[in-house]
Amino acid sequence: MRFERSPLGVGVVGLGYWGPNLLRGLMELPDVEVRYICDLDQERLSTLGRRCPSATATDRYEELLGDPQLAAIVIATPVFTHFELAAASLQADKHTFVEKPFAPSTAQASELIGLAEARDLRLMCGQTFLYSPPVREVKRLIDTDELGDIFFVSSSRVNLGLHQRDVSVIWDLGPHDFSILLHWLEEMPESITAVGRDSIVPGIHDVAFMTMQFPSGILANVELSWLAPSKLRRTAIVGSNKMVVYEDGTAEPVRVFDRGVEYRDPETFGEYQLSYRSGDIRSPMIPSTEPLVTELAEFVRLIRTRETSADLELARHVVMLVEAAESSLAGGGVPVAVATGASTQAPIAA
């Protein structure tokens, strides 16, 4: 006898720029039936309704919450609605996937985790880059010690991109780099500094330069901008053995450079020696799986197996980093302790 599993009923909320991608990804999964699409905008509802005619199109979120047949809700609305919508979804006993950044504050992120635990529901945050094959390959290179001790990481994520109306470039693009760094390095920075500028829209920073100090000594620098002549998503990881350049969206997204400099202790005072190594450049084979589909398949797997997402705490830490970076930005670039959100600089005595 064969036992057929009924498909998982899912509703997608928020059909702006990113929601349609999630909708497409869900429609590709064999185990899922998209039962609702929801947006406040009627035009988006009718456009996306044509792509997914079997789903009920509604501007009333309560309709999804009230349907006992609906198992899960996927949320892709603006950042400052994430907590309210995700909390309501969990309170209505729906498994919940919420886009990055997890919540508008660390306290709210913790509250969502608590709600999911208390109601035994699966909760996941859409940190797409954690499912990106090049990011995973770099993680493998770090974990297998091929790079040696990591000295520093330097990253640029710039584009002539969509200006968000309600949040800074740190809330918008920062979660990508923060999640990647926490995943690779498995440690939280002690402190962060951020400077930036609201070049176009007053009060909305469209460029930010951030520096993080990790307890192990690793230094990371991240440049974010919606104002750049061309799109660049490039990270260099410099280790004691090798160096890596990860450049998303290129033909060779990961290149491993067998390059470095060795320092030999001076035999006599002032006579230290440096030896330079410049070996092969290798470009590992990277699978071509789509991160978004892998990520949604993971959400479905968690629901089916009742496992807890391994990256929820990471998602909460990402929000903590965004808050600390915003606090540094507001203070004109003072170093901010990530754990407390307070400046690490003693006030200058009068």
Ligand X SMILES: NC(=O)c1ccc[n+]([C@@H]2O[C@H](COP(=O)([O-])OP(=O)(O)OC[C@H]3O[C@@H](n4cnc5c(N)ncnc54)[C@H](O)[C@@H]3O)[C@@H](O)[C@H]2O)c1
* CB 37, min distance to ligand X, A: 10
Closest CA to 339 of 215, 253, 226, 161: 215
> Per CB under 6 A, which region of 14-22, 25-33, 88-96, 130-138 contacts ligand X?
14-22
Q: Are 228 and 159 in contact (CB under 8 A)?
A: yes
- For residues 99 to 138, the per-residue mask of contacts with ligand X, x marking binding by CB under 6 A and - elsewhere, is xx-------------------------x-x----------
Listed residue (321, 317, 345) closest to 212, CA to CA: 321
SS3 275: strand
Q: Is 121 exposed, middle or buried (0-12, 13-18, 19+ CB in 10 A)?
A: buried
Ramachandran sector of residue 233 (left: φ over 0; alpha: ψ -120 to 50; beta: rest): beta
Task: Find the residue with minimal CB distance to ligand X.
Answer: 16
Cβ neighbours of residue 93 closer than 8 Å, sequence gap 6 or more: 119, 121
Binding mask 35-74 for ligand X (x = CB under 6 A): ---xxxx--x----------------x-------------
- Among 9, 11, 14, 25, which residue interacts with ligand X (rule: CB under 6 A)? 14
Q: Say how far apart CA 62 and CA 92 lie, in whole Å.
A: 10
Among 12, 13, 222, 318, the residue binding ligand X under the rule CB under 6 A is 13
Q: Cis ω on the peptide bond leading into residue 284 (within 30° of 0)?
A: no
Shortest reach from residue 157's CB to ligand X, in Å:
11
Q: How far is CA 45 from the centre of its chain?
A: 27
Please choose, out of 12-20, 147-155, 179-187, 197-205, the segment that lies near ligand X by the rule CB under 6 A: 12-20
Number of helical (H) and strand (E) elements in the chain, helices listed first: 9, 15
Nearer to ligand X, 145 or 166 (CB): 166
Q: How far is residue 68's CA from residue 92's CA, in Å, rounded to a whole number? A: 9
Task: Please pick, from the candidates 7, 58, 67, 78, the single residue that binds ligand X as defined by CB under 6 A.
Answer: 78
Cβ proximity to ligand X: between 61 and 184 the closer is 61
From residue 161 to residue 200, the character string flagging contacts with ligand X as x (rule: CB under 6 A) and all else as - is -----------x----------------------------
Nearer Cβ to ligand X (163/277): 163
Q: Which stretch binds ligand X (CB under 6 A): 9-17, 248-256, 271-279, 334-342?
A: 9-17
- CB proximity list for 44: less than 8 A, separation 6 or greater: 15, 16
- Options 56, 58, 81, 294; binder of ligand X; rule CB under 6 A: 81
Say how far apart CA 103 and CA 87 lie, in whole Å. Answer: 10
Q: Please give the DSSP secondary-structure letter assigned to residue 295.
A: H
Does 18 help bind ligand X (rule: CB under 6 A)? Answer: yes
**How long, in residues, is the chain?**
350
The least distance separating ligand X from the CB of residue 71, rounded to whole angstroms, comes to 19
Residue whose CB is less far from ligand X, 2 or 165: 165
Contact footprint for ligand X (CB under 6 A):
13-19, 38-41, 44, 61, 76-79, 81, 99-100, 126, 128, 172
